[in-house]
Amino acid sequence: MSTKDITITVNGTERELSVEPRRLLVHAIREDLDLTGTHIGCDTGNCGACTVYQDGEAIKSCLMFAVQADGSDVTTVEGMQDLPEAGMGRSDDLHPIQEGFRQMHGLQCGYCTPGMIMAGKALLEKDSDPSEATIRENISGNLCRCTGYQNIVKSIQYAADVFNDREPPESPVENPDSGGTAAADGGVDCGTGCGCDAGVDLDREYPADTAGDGGAER
């Protein structure tokens, strides 16, 4: 198949590529440019793991051909630390959104995190102080199967605090006495009485397996 020469500015650097017309932007980013922070999840535009920031908008790079991005400016998660906003918070080198995800425990397995960060960046570029409802609406195209979204929202709110010269909350991970919660779901009780909001008792002693079969009931 014939190829087309394209030029894309990626994370501030102009990159020239020769790609087949059918090549998706996400594959060009990951395989041709070796920027593997952009993840591939569904290949249908549903999960948002492939979200990047292109010409002022959050776009799903699995829904765009690389040739469609010719001449555009693309930022991936690898370029966040090089943006002017990096270092505005408590960290010397992290972008406020990255710092928010770190401080507020906005990730668990981390697969959705790059896409969430880029979606959050796009939102804060347009609205530096969004409401919780606005944050939830704007990340609704990005799926997370681990966190329950509570701390993802808090992470973006953390970045908004930094951008608006407010003191962001203390990290519940680094400061467990801060009154916050490090639970991935925000410590919300599911309502069944299971105690899922109580956290994990790391000192609990479990009975030994005397049956030798894993303790399975017969």
Q: With 60 as the cut, is the pLDDT of residue 93 above it? A: yes
The string of pLDDT tens digits covering residues 101-116 is 999 999 999 999 999 9
pTM, 2 dp: 0.81
The reported pLDDT for the residue numbered 17 is 98
Q: With 80 as the cut, is the pLDDT of residue 183 above it? A: no
Higher local confidence (pLDDT), 99 or 217 = 99
> Taking every pair of C-alpha atoms in the chain, what is the biggest distance, in angstroms?
67
- pLDDT, the chain, mean: 87
Burial (CB < 10 A; 0-12, 13-18, 19+), residue 192, is exposed
Cα–Cα distance measured from residue 119 to residue 149, given in angstroms and rounded to the nearest whole number? 13
Q: In what order do the strands lie in the sheet containing 73-75? A: 13-19, 4-10, 73-75, 51-54, 57-60
The reported pLDDT for the residue numbered 178 is 64
Query: Structural domains in the chain?
Result: 4-79 (3.10.20.30), 83-163 (1.10.150.120)
Phi/psi of residue 176, each to 5°?
-65, -15
Cα–Cα distance measured from residue 123 to residue 129, given in angstroms and rounded to the nearest whole number? 9
Residue 118 · residue 52 · CB < 8 Å: yes
Summarize the confidence of residues 43-70 as an average pLDDT: 97
